[in-house]
Amino acid sequence: MDLLNTWFSYLQDGIASGLLVTLETMVVACLVTVVWGLLVNLLRISPIKPLRFIAIAYIELFRGTPLLVQMLIIYATLPIATGIMLPAFQTAILTIMLNQGTYMAECYRSGFESVPVGQREAAAALGMSPIVEFWRIQLPLAIRVILPAIGNRALAMLLTTPFVFMVGVVEMMAQANKILGETGDFSVFVLITIIYVLVGMTLNIANSRFERALRTERL
C-alpha cells in the first residue's frame, strides 16, 4: 500500500532514530526517577520536620504545575541561576525526574505502608536493630507491592517522554514535526502514535506478566 511505503520512508528519514532517542530517554528517566523517588519518600516520612516540610512543598509544587511549564522553566533558568550548562537531554531527564519523582514516591509509600505493623513490632520485640529490621523484614515484604507500582509508573512515564521535544531533544515528536514541515503530511503523526502504542502495549504486557509472577510466588 502506498501509505505503508510513505511510512517506511519516514522511518528511514528519522523516525527510527527518533524512536531510539525516545527509548533512551524513557530508560534513563525511569532509572533516575526510581532512585529519586525513594529519596523523596524517605524525606517525606522523615522525623525531622523541616525536611518533611521541604519534601511536601516540593511534591505539591511539582504536582500542581504542568510538566511543560516546568521543563521550560528549568531549561531557561538553570544556567542563569546556577551557572550549570546542561545539554537538552540532561535537562529533560532532570525535569522528568523532578516531576515524576513525586508520583514514584507514592509507589514506595504504598509499599512500605503495606507491611503489617505487627511484623515491625515483632522485630522490635526480638531486639532487631532498625537497620536489620528494615533490610530483612520491611524491604522483602514491601518490594512485592513496590515493584508492580514502579512498573505502572514507568508506563505512565512513557507518556511524558514526548514532551521533551520542547527543549530540543530530537526524539520521535521532533522528527515527526520536521517531516511535517517538509511534506505537510499529517499521517506521520499516525505513524508515531502507532509506535508509541506498540511500545506501551509491550510495557503493559510485561507489567501484567510481572505482577502475575509476583502474585503466584506469594501463594
Position 11 contacts other proteins (CB under 8 A): no
Site for other proteins in 40-69 (CB under 8 A): 60-61, 63-69
Query: What residues contact 14, with CB distance under 8 A and at least 6 apart?
Result: 175, 178, 179
What are the backbone angles phi and psi of residue 19, rounded to the nearest 5°?
A: -60, -40
User: Which CB atom, from 50 or from 181, has the smaller least distance to other proteins?
Assistant: 181
- By CB under 8 A, which span of 41-49, 110-118, 136-144, 194-202 interacts with other proteins? 194-202
Q: Of residues 193, 206, 213, 215, which one binds other proteins by CB under 8 A?
A: 193
d(CA 194, CA 204): 15
d(CA 78, CA 174): 23
Position 8 contacts other proteins (CB under 8 A): no
Q: Using only C-alpha atoms, what is the Rg of the chain? A: 21
Q: At what angle do helices 139-158 and 16-44 cross, to 10 degrees?
A: 140
Residue 200, number of CB atoms within 10 A of its CB:
14
d(CA 219, CA 216): 5
- Tell me how far, at minimum, the Cβ of 212 lies from other proteins, in Å: 16
- By CB under 8 A, which span of 13-21, 48-56, 89-97, 198-206 interacts with other proteins? 198-206
Counting residues that bind other proteins (by CB under 8 A) gives: 41
What are the backbone angles phi and psi of residue 115, rounded to the nearest 5°?
A: -75, 125
Give the x-and-dash track for 152-171 against other proteins (CB under 8 A): ---x--xxxxxx-xx-----
Position 129 contacts other proteins (CB under 8 A): no
C-alpha grid cell, residue 199? 511500545
Q: Which residues bind other proteins (CB under 8 A)?
A: 60-61, 63-70, 72-73, 76-77, 80, 155, 158-163, 165-166, 172-173, 176-177, 180, 186, 189-190, 192-193, 196-197, 199-201, 203-204
